[in-house]
Amino acid sequence: MIRVIIAEDQRMLRGALGALLNLEDDIEVIAEVGNGEEAFKSILSLQPDVCLMDIEMPIKTGLDVAEELKQLGSPCKIIILTTFARPGYFKRAVNAGVHGYLLKDGPSDELAETIRKVTQGKREYAPELVFGSLQEENPLTEREREIMKLVAEGKTAKEISAELFLSSGTVRNYISEVINKLNVKNRIEAISIAQEKGWL
Amino acid sequence: MIRVIIAEDQRMLRGALGALLNLEDDIEVIAEVGNGEEAFKSILSLQPDVCLMDIEMPIKTGLDVAEELKQLGSPCKIIILTTFARPGYFKRAVNAGVHGYLLKDGPSDELAETIRKVTQGKREYAPELVFGSLQEENPLTEREREIMKLVAEGKTAKEISAELFLSSGTVRNYISEVINKLNVKNRIEAISIAQEKGWL
DNA sequence: ATTTTAAAATGACAAATGTCACCTCATAAT
DNA sequence: ATTATGAGGTGACATTTGTCATTTTAAAAT
């Protein structure tokens, strides 16, 4: 019997996946949790074979949990299940030694099969990620992201400069640089693109 | 036997819900589709009793579909299933005569029960929406929304004026009016607020 | 028939934005 | 010791943006 924990903050999906997996004779869902911290705790206490884990969850992300478990040398196999095909996420997940990385856009009927493979030590990654077409790498520096987030809230260069203890000229230089990098014509388009790609 | 169609663009959730509902003896999932247009077509051709429908889907939103079906006088009961508790969405849904409005954050085990109630003509709305703050109404006119959508893409007043056959001064007047209505200081903040409230 | 209202336009003005060339300073690399 | 490199800065300039008062026109409302 393969013992599984599901960590996913959207209740409807969590419940549905639980029901779906419980249909399989060789799989048993022993817990369903809604945030990263609970996931971490219940993996330690219940010692499941596999944890199906979302990335964006309250308190701790799934990647945080995976990294901490790796440090502790936990034998629990992690399968990341997320909406996001961002290369940054994927890279971090692979480094954290996760055994699977699936997309919520993928088919639900292969899920059980993936769980079985993973318990045998195999690894399974969504083909979209392994082959090309991974979303572009975030080209913005930390500082640029920080500033663009404030820009996206509608703050002016002057306000941002006061908040970050810079001159307003410097802020405008940063924004200008971002506009240039993203190859767009103004800050609003830059916001629009950056948000769409998840770079913000 | 209650015949159900599921319209949801996230495959994993769609598949899992399908499996979940097929467990019930009195419910049969006769189709699963991934966008609004397919949903519309298959409701007309397959004549299901109930359609479980997401709002944000490719091509057509679930609300668009619900409204068109109402016009045609379709007997199919619609249950909206969405992440978003926006009052604008909810109100539009009620006006379109939908029989249910559930949140993806809600429990999955009441889903089958809701479907049964709805087929009996009852209506079921997520309590978060019925009680508590069905807050602010969208204060923007059709024209203002149209312009703000373009503004949010980073288009300049001049570009928008060319696209809508207006003068750029008029466009700026509209934007100014929106900024005033939303009580913010510039177009970017206006975008930020309007998107947050789902007014866009 | 007259008044209201809404959509669209104009012109003028101050403020904010985007660009660019060039400067300073500290730290890392050679 | 010298050279990049990167974070931060300045000043100048042309555009764009935001505001406002005022006008025109057509469609509704009275």
pLDDT of B46-103, one tens digit each?
999 999 999 999 999 999 999 999 989 999 999 999 987 777 788 788 888 899 999 9
Q: Give the nucleotide with minimal C1' distance to the Cα of B154.
A: D16
Q: Nearest residue on chain B to A8, judged by CA atoms?
A: B105
Q: How confident is the model at residue B32 (pLDDT cuts 50, 70, 90)?
A: very high
What pLDDT digit, counting tens, does each position of A139-161 carry?
778 888 888 888 888 898 898 88
A38: part of which helix (H) or strand (E)?
A: helix A36-46
B100-103: strand order across its sheet: B27-33, B2-7, B50-53, B77-82, B100-103, B124-125
By three-state DSSP, how is residue A53 classified? strand
By three-state DSSP, how is residue A79 classified? strand
Nucleotides of chain D in contact with protein CB (under 7 A) are 7-12, 16-21
pLDDT, averaged across chain B? 88
Interface probe for A, chosen from B52, B80, B108 (most Cβ of A below 10 Å), is: B108
Nearest CB to B108 within list A11, A153, A189: A11
Rounded CA separation A9/A183 (Å): 36
Collect all residues of chain A within an 8 Å Cβ-Cβ radius of residue B104.
Answer: 10-13
Please give, rounded to a whole number of angstroms, the shortest distance from the CA of B50 to a CA of chain A.
18
Does the pLDDT value for residue A103 go beyond 70? Answer: yes
> Sign of the C-alpha dihedral, residues A109, A112, A115, A119?
negative
Give the number of C-alpha atoms closer than 13 A to the C-alpha of residue A76, restricted to the C-beta side. 30
Provide the percentage of residues in chain A whose pLDDT is more than 70. Answer: 96
What pLDDT, on the 0 to 100 scale, is given for residue B50? 96
What pLDDT digit, counting tens, does each position of B87-122 carry?
778 878 888 889 999 999 889 888 999 999 999 999
Q: How confident is the model at residue A119 (pLDDT cuts 50, 70, 90)?
A: very high
What pLDDT, on the 0 to 100 scale, is given for residue B133? 46
Name the residue closest to the C1' of C8 by its CA: B170
CA distances from A38 to A31, A98, B4, B106 (A): 10, 18, 35, 19
Rounded CA separation B160/A58 (Å): 40
